[in-house]
Structures are given as structure tokens and as C-alpha cells.
Amino acid sequence: DMQTKSTTVCGATAVTSSYTAPEMKLGPNFLTIPPRKATSLAAIYKSGDSYYVSTLTVQTVKGDNPTYIKDSETIIKGFQMLPPH
């Protein structure tokens, strides 16, 4: 169910992906994390012969929660990628 969209971050090429992350079983002493709504942002910055990739992922088991929706949009829209120095 992955959906992707091209975008930019601070002028750099980027892509957002929305998908359902699968259930995660972390071991017998941990709770199982159920399938959940996830959105990832990946930005690519080229400097000379080097490429830098930065990723950000937000996810929740309560994808219809208004606070999550608002806050995750703020986090993704506010993400900045600064060139190395």
C-alpha cells in the first residue's frame, strides 16, 4: 500500500512515502508492535563527489488521531537538511 511523492527539502531532491509498517515482534520480553501508519521523508544532498541521504520517519498505531496528524505534518514540513561544512 506504499504511496510515494517527489518533493524537495531545502532545495534538495526528496521523496515522501506513506505506507503501513508491518507488525514487529521484538522478543519474548517486549510487547509486539502492531501494524501502523508510517510516513517517511528521504532527502538527498550532493556535495562534490559525495552524496548525503537523510531520512525521517513518523509512525503511529492511531493514524486517525488529530494530534498525531497535525504534529507529524509539522515535523515533516519543518525538516531541514543543512549542507556539511
* 22 closest CA partner among 49, 48, 59: 59
* 35 closest CA partner among 7, 1, 80: 1
Rounded Cα–Cα distance for residues 51 and 41 (Å):
16
CA distance between the termini of the chain: 39
Q: Which amino acid is at 48?
A: G
pLDDT in tens, 1-56: 999 999 999 999 999 999 999 999 988 999 999 999 999 999 999 888 999 999 99
pTM of the prediction?
0.84
User: Are 24 and 9 contacting, i.e. CB atoms less than 8 angstroms apart?
Assistant: no
